[in-house]
């Protein structure tokens, strides 16, 4: 299609002037509005203002500029059957629409008053874009400055634009209007008292990267980031190492979610989306050493997450073993130099690891949405149910164990001591099997430990397994019809037990 007239109204003026100049050089008439018109005038680019075409100046505080039959008729009219009607109403055809929108998300925050926020909702822009995209048979719509050069080069060569390109640009335009509406809806949901009650939940994603393959080499995969997100693993800075894989991303995300539980210096090591070593300490160096020693066998080839700057000491330790990824808020210069000796090791810094208040999980044909599990069990929440009461050291270890337990697959059992994981039984179909695995993983370090269970014990058999192991206290939700049997078993074996009244499943 030959382009004779173009309407330009853009908020993002990147590369506007060079593109407009090229259109003018090709004798394409330009029509413009407001700030775009001012920019064109300052650059000496001839154009007509929209009000010259409509005969009306903008009104209602700028809310109405382009909402006029001469604009939308010129965009929407069918060139094959409606030319005579358009001429009767003195409507000139508009062959190209170059529009992008007010930056709603950068201008509006969830705490902004509603009457102020709605003024940033663009009406005229999306309306023109949708009209032009609908009429792709005759009209070209451009919403991304990155497309200016391509369009200009084709126009200079062919004097027109083919249908395939117009279709591609129309698809991009509808993606933009959909994304824009979703951003506005997101603002309304965030300001609602209960976001999960929204009739519709719109998830807008942008491709972050193509992946070599998925969970297995025969599966294709890609990573997409929430379009409004600036946190998490997809917002990290990668200093070195191979590209992240599908499984890397899942494991790294699990590590980030776990490390966020702690304010003290902490280290988390993850394998197959489950923590295998977690520890807190007075220093980050000590926390790393404890987490690694918790299960050095399982840590091989794992993902390390720190909640403090990575030091040279940690870097030297990591460089001496095989690990897939190390994540920290930052790295000292010396740490980065040391880690560079392992060029395949992925080194990631993440400044913003703030988690969303809500989480979604895809199932076949739908999505499950729930509040993120942010519950914190504190000493005052614990109910001692056995004759033997746990001492303060055991209580602190139980509270630490509970924070980690939230992040291993249920049924989950975790054994801990001195703010360090000792053994875990994760993702078992039987709680007694999970207990057996955790005991075996703890090995000779089990003496004086505590045990955490993410749900109640349905029978006393799990407690009987603990007799003589050296486990001295148990933390669990309680709530079983056989709680009294379980409590009796603890009393018989000299094990203290506390109830939280809450479980912490992670399916």
**Active-site residue numbers?**
134, 272
Cβ contacts of 326 within 8 Å, gap of 6 or more: 303, 304, 305, 306, 310, 318, 339, 345, 346, 347, 348
Q: Give dist(CA 24, CA 100) in Å, integer.
A: 20
Instruction: Residue 453: name the closest of 428, 482, 484 by CA.
Output: 428
Asked if 110 and 188 touch (Cβ cutoff 8 Å), the reply is no
Q: Two tokens at 178?
A: 């959909």
Q: Give dist(CA 175, CA 111) in Å, integer.
A: 27
Instruction: Residue 155: name the closest of 22, 8, 20 by CA.
Output: 22
Tell me the DSSP string of 249-300. Answer: HHHHHHHHHHHTT-SSSEEEEEETTEEEEEEE-SSHHHHHHHHHHHSHHHHT
Q: Residue 287: which region, alpha, beta or left (left: phi > 0; alpha: psi -120 to 50)? A: alpha
Asked if 426 and 274 touch (Cβ cutoff 8 Å), the reply is yes
Distance of CA 350 to CAs 152, 284, 308, 327, Å?
39, 16, 11, 7
Burial class (CB in 10 A: 0-12, 13-18, 19+), 278: buried
User: Containing H/E element for 339?
Assistant: helix 333-339
Q: Give dist(CA 371, CA 359) in Å, integer.
A: 6
């Amino acid at each position: 299609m030959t382009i004779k007239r173009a309407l330009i109204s853009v908020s993002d003026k990147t590369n506007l002037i060079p593109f407009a100049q090229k259109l003018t050089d090709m004798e394409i008439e330009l029509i413009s509005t407001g700030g775009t018109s001012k920019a064109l005038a300052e650059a000496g680019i001839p154009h007509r203002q929209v009000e010259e075409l409509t005969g009306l100046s903008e009104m209602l505080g700028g809310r109405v500029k382009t909402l006029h039959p001469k604009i939308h008729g010129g965009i929407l009219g069918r060139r094959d059957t409606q030319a005579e009607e358009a001429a009767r109403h003195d409507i000139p055809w508009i062959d190209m629409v170059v529009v992008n929108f007010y930056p709603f998300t950068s201008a509006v925050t969830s705490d902004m008053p509603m009457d102020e926020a709605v003024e940033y909702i663009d009406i005229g822009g999306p309306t023109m874009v949708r009209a032009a995209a609908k009429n792709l048979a005759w009209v070209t719509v451009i919403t991304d400055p990155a497309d200016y050069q391509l369009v200009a080069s084709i126009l200079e060569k062919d004097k027109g634009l083919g249908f395939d390109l117009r279709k591609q640009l129309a698809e991009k335009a509808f993606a933009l209007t959909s994304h824009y509406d979703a951003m506005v809806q997101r603002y309304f949901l965030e300001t609602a008292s209960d976001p999960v009650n929204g009739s519709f939940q719109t998830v807008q994603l942008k491709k972050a990267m193509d992946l070599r393959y998925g969970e297995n080499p025969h599966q294709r995969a890609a990573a997409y980031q929430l379009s409004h997100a600036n946190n998490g693993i997809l917002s990290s800075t990668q200093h070195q190492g191979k590209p992240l894989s599908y499984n890397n991303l899942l494991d790294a995300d699990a590590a980030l979610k776990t490390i966020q539980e702690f304010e003290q210096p902490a280290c988390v090591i993850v394998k197959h989306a489950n923590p295998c070593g977690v520890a807190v300490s007075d220093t980050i160096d000590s926390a790393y050493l404890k987490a690694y020693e918790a299960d050095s066998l399982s840590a091989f080839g794992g993902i390390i997450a720190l909640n403090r700057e990575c030091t040279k000491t940690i870097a030297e330790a990591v460089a001496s073993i095989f690990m897939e990824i190390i994540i920290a808020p930052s790295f000292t210069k010396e740490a980065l130099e040391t880690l560079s000796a392992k060029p395949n090791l992925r080194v990631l810094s993440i400044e913003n690891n703030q988690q969303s208040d809500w989480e979604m999980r895809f199932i076949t044909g739908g999505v499950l949405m729930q509040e993120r599990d942010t519950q914190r069990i504190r000493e005052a929440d614990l109910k001692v149910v056995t004759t033997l009461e746990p001492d303060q050291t055991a209580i602190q270890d139980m509270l630490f164990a509970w924070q980690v337990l939230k992040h291993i697959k249920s049924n989950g059992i975790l054994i801990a001591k001195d703010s360090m994981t000792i053994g875990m039984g994760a993702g078992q179909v039987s709680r007694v099997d999970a207990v057996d695995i955790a005991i075996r993983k703890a090995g000779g370090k089990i003496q004086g430990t505590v045990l955490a269970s993410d749900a109640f014990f349905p029978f006393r058999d799990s407690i009987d397994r603990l007799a003589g192991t050296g486990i001295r206290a148990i933390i669990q939700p309680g709530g079983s019809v056989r709680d009294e049997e379980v409590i009796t078993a603890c009393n018989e074996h000299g094990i203290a037990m506390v109830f939280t009244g809450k479980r912490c499943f992670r399916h």
